Homo-oligomer: A and B are copies of this chain.
Amino acid sequence: MLKVDMDTKVKFLHGFSHKTRIQILECIKNNEKTVTQIIEDIRSSQSSISQHLACLKGCGLVVGRQEGKYVYYSLRNQKVRELLTMFDDVLEDVENDVACCENHIS
């Protein structure tokens, strides 16, 4: 197991730190989708979705492939998919305690 650079890890995990981004990840978890499809699925603006997709790409979580005028986004690889599954797994356990806490850091 190689040592992973901390700043890289911070950047990577930043990808999961916003509701819209999490929704995007779940939305494309099982099959790739175009930006338009993602916009339809998630209730948010084109610009916002596009910016979050750029973020997710930068974080290394998703990849996009262009096909004609469409861009198809999908999870980067199987491991990212497993990670998303694992979140649900861990959360089943944690759910009750998290639910009753209302504040972030401040």
Contact = CB atoms under 8 A, between A and B. Distances in A.
Interface residues of A, number: 53
User: How many copies of this chain does the complex contain?
Assistant: 2
Chain A at the B interface: SS class: helix
Contacts of A59: 98, 101
A69 to B, nearest CB: 24
Interface string A1-40: 1101111111111101111001100000000000000000
The 4 A-B pairs of least Cβ separation, nearest first, read A17-B17, A58-B101, A60-B94, A60-B98
Interface of A: 1-2, 4-14, 16-19, 22-23, 51-52, 54-55, 57-61, 76-77, 79-80, 82-83, 86-95, 97-99, 101-106
